[in-house]
């Protein structure tokens, strides 16, 4: 079993070495060799998960005392399978996509090295191995994003990503140093045992040491997973090859969720940091979802969508639903990776479209079809507000009464409520021949998806955290004071209800699409969105100010 753990990162590394030695062979042979090793890596990852399920206990492999160790636990096994699966799909897709590009062999070498680095990160059993893999991922991503040396934009934004990642590496290195100096070990299982034995024995400047370390780990996760305000690198990495954009969802851009779960025993003693994670994730989710809607580039729109989804992943971590964040990480990685690989087909279909929006006027005048009926406004409003809440509440209740009492479950319930209401509202806006049938199908689909999602989340939590005490303590650490929580729930509920009633009222009175509604406030808000909240502009100004200051210092130093 320990040999299997070693083979996981070693197999793609061996593939990269063989391709380097056989670089003079034809492109077809190079691609076949790399894809073949990717298939083998995927089979090894599936076998490691199967063996873990059969054995039921973690496995350990070490090459040196205190470092160079690999650790197979539930988190490693499930992440390895996801990484190997997405990597295999990207390898196969790249065979034809990169066929006309220069540096074909180099590209496959980098793909294999990236797969090896990610697998090493998820299987790292000590702080040194984890830091080495974490750093290598950032370096390899720089070369992959800047693969086409003839595109200045790709080179620029690859370097931008590299700087952001290096900025995010510093807190993680400092956290590792503090943990090693405090507890005298770099081995993760031993480290977590000593933390559990003496969580409050050490402080840094009067602050509990674990709070400081948890904050540093969270900062590293923010930079890696494009959380506000360190998000600007992600949408602009779309200048790189499309296969790289898909591969980024295999433990690169979503590595923040992994690193927080890996240090979960430490976050038990840092509830304040979890509240910060929730706040940052919420802001990122909202901004990413808004900015996604204003892009005219499909890949950039998908990039902002990824930013929003990473925000939701941190929201889940912030409310204590660590296992749900990993499930979100895997589901979103598979889904969004597929969307990126299919972006070319969408662009091709868009070029064949006439560009005329098929609204009510177009349907009546051009297609000469009568306008289909809609549901009564009041009934649609009631369905939109009540049905998602009932479905989500019932699904949580079926999993046990205790889960409903968890604050994290209730907070996530509100997010599900908003999502379900948005879906039903979009359905109401459509004109179809049978609105009742469509609404019934949407509600049935919502029930099936939510019930399945809840069951999977519950089973996933039991798999990743078989120690139920640890899972309960994470939820407890993420909880808010009861009075604060109740006030927030009431504000959220009132905001959702009032917002949807106002939206329906505007739509029912025909004011939703009038040009006269474009008030100065709305135009200012749209300008703010179109400029992406001026975050990139602020960074550009800071860059110019720093360069100006350096020039002044240079001139001054010559006079000394």
How much is the average pLDDT of 441-455?
Answer: 67
Greater model confidence, 366 or 557: 557
Percent of the chain whose predicted confidence (pLDDT) is above 90: 16
Given a cut of 90, whether residue 217 has pLDDT beyond it is yes
Determine which of 89-98, 152-161, 185-194 has the lowest per-residue pLDDT on average: 152-161
Distance CA 64, CA 557 (A): 49
Q: Tell me what the pLDDT averaged over the chain comes to.
A: 79
pTM: 0.82
How much is the average pLDDT of 29-51?
Answer: 90
Q: Yes or no: say if 234 and 306 are a contact pair by the CB < 8 Å rule.
A: yes
Greater model confidence, 291 or 115: 115
pLDDT at 427: 62
User: Apex CA 320: angle with CA 386 and CA 310, to 5°?
Assistant: 80
Helix (H) or strand (E) holding 71, with range, is strand 67-72
pLDDT at 235: 82
Secondary-structure breakdown of the chain: helix, strand, coil percentages, each rounded to the nearest 5: 75, 5, 20
- What does the pLDDT look like over 258-303, one tens digit per residue? 999 999 889 988 888 998 998 898 889 888 888 887 777 777 788 8
Greater model confidence, 417 or 132: 132
pLDDT at 491: 76
Long-range contacts of 536-543 (CB under 8 A, 24+ apart): 536/232, 539/232
Greater model confidence, 448 or 144: 144
SS3 track for 416-448: HHHHHHHHHHHHHHCCCCCHHHHHHHHHHHHHH
Confidence of residue 215 (pLDDT cuts 50, 70, 90): very high
Q: Yes or no: say if 187 and 147 are a contact pair by the CB < 8 Å rule.
A: no
Distance CA 382, CA 386 (A): 6
Most confident of 82-96, 231-245, 355-369: 82-96
Confidence of residue 113 (pLDDT cuts 50, 70, 90): very high
Rounded to the nearest 10°, the torsion over CA 12, 14, 20, 25 is -90
Distance CA 376, CA 196 (A): 58
Given a cut of 60, whether residue 151 has pLDDT beyond it is yes
How much is the average pLDDT of 235-243?
Answer: 79
Distance CA 263, CA 464 (A): 13
Q: Yes or no: say if 353 and 445 are a contact pair by the CB < 8 Å rule.
A: no
Closest by CA to 385, choosing from 496, 283, 512, 251, is: 496
pLDDT at 418: 66
Confidence of residue 512 (pLDDT cuts 50, 70, 90): very low
- Token pair for residue 26? 């034809």
φ/ψ of 338, rounded to 5, equals -65, -40
How much is the average pLDDT of 509-531?
Answer: 67
Closest by CA to 45, choosing from 85, 10, 12, 75, is: 85
How much is the average pLDDT of 434-454?
Answer: 67
Given a cut of 50, whether residue 560 has pLDDT beyond it is no
CB-neighbour burial class of residue 551 (10 A; exposed 0-12, middle 13-18, buried 19+): exposed
**61 beta partners:** 70
């Amino acid at each position: 079993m320990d040999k299997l753990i070693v083979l996981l990162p070693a197999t793609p590394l061996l593939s990269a070495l063989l391709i380097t030695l056989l670089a003079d062979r034809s492109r077809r042979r190079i691609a076949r060799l790399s894809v073949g090793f990717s298939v083998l890596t995927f089979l090894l990852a599936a076998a490691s998960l199967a063996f873990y399920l059969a054995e039921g206990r973690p496995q350990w492999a070490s090459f040196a005392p205190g470092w160079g160790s690999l650790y197979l636990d539930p988190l490693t096994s499930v992440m390895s399978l996801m990484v190997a699966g997405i990597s295999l799909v990207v390898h196969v897709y790249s065979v034809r996509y990169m066929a006309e590009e220069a540096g074909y062999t180099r590209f496959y070498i980098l793909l294999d090295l990236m797969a090896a680095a990610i697998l090493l990160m998820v299987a790292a059993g000590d702080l040194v191995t984890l830091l080495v893999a974490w750093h290598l991922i950032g370096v390899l991503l720089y070369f992959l994003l800047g693969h086409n040396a003839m595109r200045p934009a790709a080179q620029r934004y690859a370097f931008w990503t590299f700087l952001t990642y290096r900025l995010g590496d510093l807190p993680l290195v400092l956290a590792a140093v503090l943990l090693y100096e405090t507890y005298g070990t770099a081995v993760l299982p031993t480290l977590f045992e000593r933390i559990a034995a003496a969580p409050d024995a050490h402080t840094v400047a009067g602050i509990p040491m674990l709070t400081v370390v948890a904050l540093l780990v969270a900062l590293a996760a923010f930079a890696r997973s494009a959380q506000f305000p360190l998000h600007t690198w992600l949408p602009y990495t779309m200048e790189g090859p499309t296969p790289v954009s898909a591969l980024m969802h295999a433990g690169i851009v979503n590595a923040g969720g992994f690193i927080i779960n890996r240090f979960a025993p430490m976050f038990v003693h840092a509830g304040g940091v979890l509240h910060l994670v929730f706040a940052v994730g919420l802001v990122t989710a909202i901004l990413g979802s808004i900015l996604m809607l204003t892009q005219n580039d499909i890949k950039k729109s998908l990039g902002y969508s990824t930013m929003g989804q990473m925000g939701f992943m941190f929201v889940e971590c912030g409310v204590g639903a660590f296992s749900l964040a990993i499930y979100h990480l895997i589901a979103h990685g598979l889904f969004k990776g597929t969307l990126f690989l299919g972006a070319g087909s969408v662009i091709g279909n868009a070029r064949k479209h006439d560009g005329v929006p098929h609204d009510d006027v177009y349907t009546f005048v051009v297609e000469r079809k009568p306008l289909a009926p809609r549901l009564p406004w009041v009934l649609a409003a009631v369905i939109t507000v009540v049905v998602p809440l009932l479905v989500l509440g019932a699904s949580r209740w079926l999993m046990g009464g205790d889960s409903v009492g968890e604050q994290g479950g209730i907070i996530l319930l509100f997010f599900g409520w908003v999502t379900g209401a948005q879906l039903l509202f979009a359905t109401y806006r459509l004109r179809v021949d049978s609105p009742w049938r469509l609404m019934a199908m949407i509600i049935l689909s919502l029930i099936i998806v939510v019930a399945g999602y809840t069951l999977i989340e519950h089973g996933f939590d039991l798999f990743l955290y078989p120690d139920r005490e640890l899972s309960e303590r994470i939820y407890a650490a993420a909880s808010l004071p009861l009075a604060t929580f109740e006030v927030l729930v009431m504000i959220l509920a009132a905001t959702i209800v009032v917002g949807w009633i106002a939206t329906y009222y505007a739509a029912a009175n025909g004011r939703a699409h009038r040009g006269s509604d474009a008030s100065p406030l709305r135009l200012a808000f749209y300008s703010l969105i179109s400029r992406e909240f001026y975050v990139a502009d602020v960074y550009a100004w800071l860059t110019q100010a720093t360069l100006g200051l350096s020039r002044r210092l240079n001139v001054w130093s010559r006079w000394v």
